Structure formats: structure tokens, C-alpha cells
Amino acid sequence: VTDGTVGLLGLSNHWAWQVERARNLATAAGSARADVLQYHHTYLRMRTDIPELRFSQDGEIGAADGSILSYLRAEPGMTLVAYSPLLNGAYTRPDKELDRAYDHPGTQARLEALQQVAKETGATANQVVLAWLIGGELPVVPLIGASSVAQLDESLAALDLQLSAEQRQLLDEAS
């Protein structure tokens, strides 16, 4: 960062304690800290207790869980880049299955709230998810994928969707 080779540092898919340790070491060394975190984050909540044998035998390392979200809340100036916010299309496409990490009772309640707000606003479920992520209390930048211009257009149109306080509360409280 000092040399200008890199503009800004980010960390992805590390345990919160590792992020904290890295940021402390950087501060102690007088060098730039990672201010951007990149994790999977979406409206549905993911089970984080399922180990992934190659990289995280103690559970899910790539999800923005409570440790990561609370870290963001406690450290103003940090931003979460949320990858796979639309679950590979699973919110709207019947041919795309949810990962088994979403197979728990909270998912149905969240999906129902999502459908209700989608119906109220006339937006797609994907657009409601993006609007919810962008307009929340924590600084979150969704990292979307698109395999067609139409998919990109759908996601970009989420910028025009303003959720009411009631809609946001409904979405927040569903669990």
C-alpha cells in the first residue's frame, strides 16, 4: 500500500480471530490494515457448523457469521463484500437447489418474508435480497455474478428498490 502497488487491502474467508490478528500485526508494524472483508453473505442464514474438510475442519470459514458481522459493526470504516448473495440463482430458479447449509427451520420463514416483500414491491426476490443487503445498517457491497446481460439488468434494477421501514423490519425479524 505504501508503495502504491496495492490500493487497499482485503481479506476473504478467514476466521474472525485471524482477521483481528492480522489487523493487529499490521498496526503494530505501522503498515496498512485490511479494511475490506469478502465473505459469502445473503438474506438467508447459513448453518456454519458444517466442516469443510479441505479448508475449515471446524466449521464454515467462508460465511459472514455473527463473528464477522459483529466485527464490522464494531469497526467503523470496514466494508463487507458479500459474495454469492443470490445463491447461484436459487432464490428464483426452481432448477437451482439451495445448499444443504440452508436446510434448517429458519429458511422457510425467511423465504416467506422475502416472497411477501417481493409481492408488495413488485420486485423479484433477487432484487429484494440485494436491496436488503445494500440498505442495511452494516456497510455491505454485494458481489454479484451474471451469466447474461438480462441477469445483470435484474440485479442493477435493485438499486431503484427502496424498502420501507416495515418491509425491512419484516425481513429482519423473520427467522
Give the position of cell 442464514: 45
**How far is the C-alpha of 63 from the C-alpha of 59, rounded, in Å?**
10
| Least Å from the CB of residue 65 to other proteins | 15
Residue 11 or residue 143: which is nearer to other proteins going by CB?
143
**How far is the C-alpha of 44 from the C-alpha of 30, rounded, in Å?**
38
Residues that bind other proteins (CB under 8 A): 1, 7-8, 13, 32-33, 35-36, 38, 40, 52, 54-55, 62, 75-79, 81, 83-84, 88, 99, 130, 134, 139, 141-149, 152-153, 155-156, 158-159
Residue pair 69/40 in contact (Cβ under 8 Å)? The answer is no
| Least Å from the CB of residue 45 to other proteins | 16
Residue 32 or residue 116: which is nearer to other proteins going by CB?
32
**How far is the C-alpha of 61 from the C-alpha of 170, rounded, in Å?**
28
Residue 66 or residue 135: which is nearer to other proteins going by CB?
135
| Least Å from the CB of residue 7 to other proteins | 6
| Least Å from the CB of residue 120 to other proteins | 22
Residue pair 129/43 in contact (Cβ under 8 Å)? The answer is yes
Residue pair 60/73 in contact (Cβ under 8 Å)? The answer is no
